[in-house]
Amino acid sequence: MTKIEYIINAAKLSKGSAALWVRYLNKVINENSSLSQTEVAEILTSKALDSFQRVILKLAVEPDNDYHRYIVNLSKPRKVLSIEERLQKYGL
């Protein structure tokens, strides 16, 4: 399955769910890889995507915006503070 087929199939499966659409995008857009301009153009011509999904895809492939950074950061591990660390942080 190519990236294009994957994204078009993901668009069909995630209709009406922004969170699911973003998770699918995170699988192909990360620090190490992204979609080429020709792939994006081909995906955007598909009737499988609704207007919301098209806008999110356009924002997600532009490297210098907050939405792209959000999608890339989804795959990074997060530091979770323990209860003791939180109490110390807030002086309780």
What ranges do the domains of the chain cover?
3-89
* Contact criterion met (CB below 8 Å) for 11 and 49: yes
Give the chain's length.
Answer: 92
CA 87, CA 92: separation in Å to the nearest integer?
5
Global pTM? Answer: 0.78
| pLDDT tens figures, 59-73 | 999 888 898 888 888
pLDDT of residue 15: 92
pLDDT, greater one: 63 or 22: 22
